[in-house]
Amino acid sequence: MIIPPDLSTARTSKRSVLAIGLLTCSVLCADAWAADGPPSRPLIEDTKLYFTAPLRWETQDWMQFVGTVFTIGVAHEFDRSVRHAFEPSGGHPLDGQDPNSTRDAIPALALVAGTWVVGVVSGDKAERHEAWNMAEAVGFSAVDTVLLKYISGRRRPNETESPDEWFQGGDSFPSLHVSAAFAAGTVFAESGEPKHRWIRRTVGYGIAGATAYARLHDNAHWFSDVVAGAAIGVSTALFVVDRDRAATRHAGFSVVPVKGGAMLTYWRAP
């Protein structure tokens, strides 16, 4: 008699590792908050704006959303071929095991923690604030990802050879590792001084891309899981970065052209 693998144990272990990582991010940010005072914008306000964003989307935003869904659909068509491309000579075991879950989560968590440590050691409040933004992006993307996991119920490629087993109690779609890595990596890549942008983008997107590759190589996710996770991570990070930049533009002077000359005006953000 063949005894099926205890998939619940494997899933619990993976979720525990990621939960510990998210808790670590929260602790680091709480420390930064205690040292420097509250962030420039309330977390509760960011949360409200993030989860109600679709209510304010314009035509271009909806077009980008539809384009993203289409891209994920195209990726789904390559799920089998990508899985086979990483298949070892003996084939993939269907035991539901993910022994490299912790290893694959470490780079993104190290990026957040490392940014915070640099800020503490150097006394740079901007670095600690950046760590806060990275953790916030990871947290928001994690909520989206976990909700979609429970809704889709897709089984992982280490559980079945079919990429079409949806609503089966699985937790494959989207990849939480990838969404977290792209959330943290994108905030890191698009923050800081412009002159260091290429270095930051190489590191941030490099870590995120390596995480996505690892999840495919380890047969822990389908290709479309990874694409969806990356889309969630990037879009969430860009929301946080845009919110942060808007919060720093409190007031200023600008020159407005008028008939016969120009007028110096003072503006203040609401």
For tokens 């290893």, name the residue.
Answer: 103
Q: Are 128 and 36 in contact (CB under 8 A)?
A: yes
Interior/surface letters 222-254, b for 16+ CB within 10 angstroms, e for the rest: bbbbbbbbbbbbbbbbebbbebbeeeeeeeeee
- Backbone angles phi and psi of 86, in degrees to 5: -100, 5
Closest-CA residue to 213 (of 111, 109, 104): 104
Which pLDDT value is given to residue 260? 59
Q: Is the dihedral of CA 168, 169, 175, 177 positive or negative?
A: negative
Closest-CA residue to 141 (of 24, 39, 239, 13): 239
Can the peptide bond before residue 174 be classed as cis, meaning omega within 30 degrees of 0? Answer: yes
Which tokens sit at 194?
A: 């412009």
Which tokens sit at 263?
A: 């007028």
Q: How many CB atoms lie within 10 A of CB 80?
A: 16
- List the chain residues with pLDDT less than 70: 1-41, 247-270
Q: Are 150 and 168 in contact (CB under 8 A)?
A: no
Helices in the chain by DSSP H: which ranges?
A: 7-36, 43-51, 59-77, 79-85, 101-122, 125-152, 176-189, 197-217, 223-248
Q: Are 266 and 251 in contact (CB under 8 A)?
A: yes
Q: How far apart are CA 162 and CA 155, in angstroms?
A: 9
Closest-CA residue to 137 (of 39, 9, 3, 12): 39
Please name the residues in contact with 58: beta carbons below 8 A apart, sequence gap of 6 or more. Answer: none
